[in-house]
Structure 1
Amino acid sequence: MRLPKLLPYFLPVLLFCYGTIQGQSNLIRAEKQKLSSVKDSIGYINSINRLGMLYHMRNLDSALYYSIKAKEMATRLQYPKGVADADNVIATIFAMRGMYQESLQLLTQALSAYSAQKDSANVSQVTINMSNVYGSLNDSTKALNLLRQVIRTGSKDSIMSLAYANYCMANSTLSDDSSQYYINKTREIASRYNDYRMLIGVKELESDFLLKKGRIKESLKVLADALAEARKYELNEQEIYLLNSYARYYKNQPDSALHYAWSSYQLAKENGYVVALIPLLQDVLSFTELLGNKDKIISVQKLLETTMAEENENLKKFVGDYIKYNIIQGDNAVLSIINKNSKTKIWLLVSICVVSLFLLLFMYRLYQVSRKHESELGKLNRQILEQNKTLQATDEFKNKLFSILAHDFRTPLISTISIAGLMKDNPEFTKEEMEQFYGDIEKRASDMLESFDIILQWIKQQLSGYQYKAETLVLHDLFSESADIVMPQMIPKKITLSNQIPKYVIATSDKEMLQFVNRNLLSNAAKFSPEGGTITISCTQDDHLITISITDEGRGMDEQTLSKLFSVSSNFGSSTQHGAGIALSMCKDFIQKLGGRIWAQNAEPNGAIFSYSIPLKA
């Protein structure tokens, strides 16, 4: 369960959120002080409804207490807006407990009440909340239709900034121009009403938009501005989610991602945002697993298990408090009408039966949710016990094939981008130098296109099932071709490549599979070689097998890394991303399909040796 992006800005009941910008703790403290001096019944109901909303991210029991109390008073005083406001808050609490159907039922009641009162702002707001619940149920069609319904009203209320922002976030099919339009509309309305919380939310939307367009530095700057503003106004709830956005931003750099994910969790823990703790810890766990430190993984898993157990206890308390409240209310109702005529008593008994039935259904629903939490705890225990087992190798052969493209073309693309950046930043180059750069770009693009076409054709063949295409291959020439692709990695580090495979050594095998393995092993050797180092390619053969070895002069690997090297979960080196684990796992898979085996070991006195053996003939 991951925290949905920007959800904290959109799901809360915003009809109570106007006024001077403050952190949530300050707002709760101020509202409690105000409550003691409120003498008007309607004002009192509005105040405790607001307290229920403010507590929804900190303590669901308190939020439920205040909102039910508000609903009871509003019902007794026949104040329909107070009842609708309370239903809106309770629906939010139910949604956060995973009780989506109950939440939708209450939101429908609130929508009907606000429509009868011609309260357009709250009609729009409840419709947006319903859209978010459908989004949680993965019904994107209903979610988007509800948001379009709000946008079509053309309302001038500040709530429209919420509608535009939600629509931009929920609709993954929007073009860049459309996304920019909705971001601008959100900013325009939020600025008009001085809605600082929404303006911070807009910056996170804009950061995501810039990141998708590849404008990475601009994206990070906007995200940094948003975080600075959240800290300036002491908006802890928004700072938590912005730190979580930083973790998503650095998802390919596990160390940085873990730092921000952990900071987000600690801030939530320190400020009592208990509802956010489990999803934040799940993020911390996922990034910790990428780093591969077994002790830290187990520590985080235990912390998550403890937190989930506490949440399960809170859920049971939540059930108990709600049932106890309803029983007390039912008893009071019985005592208040016990002296009425027999007809009234009959209706009372019918009402009690209906309430009891509702409570039984409610208890059963919460029991299901509780069982789900217990199941997750059991699953987590099994994961801890099985931590040292080898992860099951691959997803599906088809899914692994598509990973080749991203892994194989990253280096030449980076090289081409670097040349283009150099040309852009240095306009004083001579015509001859520019022509040389153009030639380099054209050659790299042509090489990549040729490789792309070959691999794409090969992938299309594999989609209908594995097909082996045997060719007579000169191994010396194969490594020369692979070296040309990896050379941009070697040149900046002044790495020397020594191809010691005799030109007469040939094998009968599948060229594309073998070249994929060669390119990846050379790329890894270049990545971990020191400046001025040498990469040596050698081979031995007997009557049946050819063994190829690629030796670098890096720092080698520890035993734990060696043992997990060819599994998808391996963290090969301190800076290796998840793609390296996939690539090495696929190398192993391909070599096995070629009838051989692949292994790695440390060289003496330093460095690593990656070797594979394949049959001389298919």
Structure 2
Amino acid sequence: MVLRLLQKKQWTVICLLCYAGMLHARTGDIWQVPVSQLQDSTHYIDKVNHLAVLYQLKNLDSSFLYVMQAQQIATRQGYTKGKGDAWQALGDYYGLRNNSYLSIRYYMDALQVYKKLADSNGISQVYASLGVYHKQSGQMEIARDYLHKAMDIGQRLPGDSTYALILSRFAGVNMEDPTKQDSVQWALKQARNISTGYRDVYNLLQLDLLDLQSLLWQGDIATARNKLSALVSAVTTNGYGYPAMLASRLMAATSARQQQADSIQYLVQAVKLSLTGGYQDLMLPYIVQLYDWYKKQGKQDTIILYSNLLLGILKQRNDAKSNGEMDYIAYYTQQHQMRALQLQRATQQELLRKRGLETRNRLALIGFLFLLLVFTMLVGLYFYRSYKESGQSAVMLAAKNREISAKNDLLHKQDDFKNKLVSVVAHDFRSPLHSIISMTEFLKAGDIPPDEAYDWMMDVERSAGNTLQTFDNILAWINSQLSGFVYIPALCTPADMIPETLQYLADMVNSKRLQIIISIPREIQVWADQEMLQFVHRNFIHNAVKFSPEGGKLYITAGEENGSVTLSVVDEGPGIPESIFPYLFEYPQNNETRETKQGAGLALIICRDFMDKMRGQLQAGNQPGGGAIFSYTLPHVKNITATISYDAMVF
């Protein structure tokens, strides 16, 4: 249990250490510059903000004091970037305090400031911090999105020290993803090359920690333990409480994996370091584990010590959360009050100035003011009337423009519809009429036997019937495409509608001796236009009968799933050729396409158009054992009545 906890949040604190190290690289040896020697200026605010971040490595309470001082001075001087840097540092501070609410709020405030200032460097840093935050919250996709944004900006910055920070955070966030190991190793290598060029000791330190974590993740515990032991001694000696605590935790993890007796010793050392530097909130789960371990050992003095420590941390956490939220609210309330006082002061000064002017010049200027008032009123009246007339003209012109635009759109639609109609008629009537003319010419010649002539006459009759049905389809399509078409849905029961459709197609079914198998529950109902839905039924069943072999079976089924009703018609025919699948529900737009890529005919195009108007979908496919399946999906009546008002809809 101790081992799992030691590994659970290791990546977040390592990524935060990266931020402090990169700031140190940009500011130089600021530890040696006394703040009192700097002037109360923007440079002073920047130095205090940098100190606040750097003290995250040594003492979190000192870091908070510095960042609050920087925020107050930046607010007083109106230094916007200084406030943004302070808010970003407060986001880091509350992240280390396990107060995610205030952490994310300060990050977002800083991001807004940086965007307003077009500060790419600040934006990329906040994006990287938000990536760490969302990874810790379990929102991996959002975390990666923020990190990709940060990397996209960071690699275009003039200096690449910030880019090294972003690469380190990228590696820390994706350390435990086995699919990202190549990217993690690449990011670590690039960050190390950049940090080595800048001689950035602190970023190289956190990169060493990331390398050690990578070794632990790969299972090379022995190597990691040897390198980590030296690292613990180095950071502890130099007084860096935060990395020392982190390194001690990693050392405890490696010892626990190797079942070494000193794992508890390193964990106790990490707790002591956290108390010294103010990082105890990060150690709360491990303090609980130490309390349980000493309880099993029966060491009462130590149990009491850790019990009091746990109570103190929990109380301090609640107090800090409450105080932090009140500080946040008080800050914005103070800003609002300050702006209100400034406005009130300006108003009062203006009022006093006007009163003094009126007192000094009342007698001398009363006549002039009267004339000026009259003149101003006349001029104002003139401009008001001109403005009103121009406004009315503009409204009328805009209305005329909209009317002309609407009529132009209507003309374009009608022209497109005319072209489409001519193309459809030319395509779907040329072949059948040509066939009828050819057959009648042969019959007039009288060169064929009577039996064969009778068969030809039957073919002519069938061709004429199909041509007539195509003509009916075109009329239905025209009616659906014209402006002003009204769609009024009604309650439809497919179990009652299918038998009516089969009566219409009874001759075709009987001529092929087909067996129709219907499985449609009567309780299934949908909202649709009955004639439009019957048109879809007739075309589905007509196609199935047309391509079914004699004596075959035809299945008509319906079912409800996830709030939708799906009705399917399945035949045992040859199926749909692969060549027309892409054009099954569309009509080719030119002659070359019509000759080379044949669709399924106008009927299916109209079915798709009708189904779109009824808010449904069409599907088609082939059965594994042969035969085609056509189906449509409409919302179930229970779902529709709860969410949609079905008044008349005009398309």
Question: TM-score of the superposition, structure 2-length normalised?
Answer: 0.45
* Structure of larger gyration radius: 2
Question: TM-score of the superposition, structure 1-length normalised?
Answer: 0.47
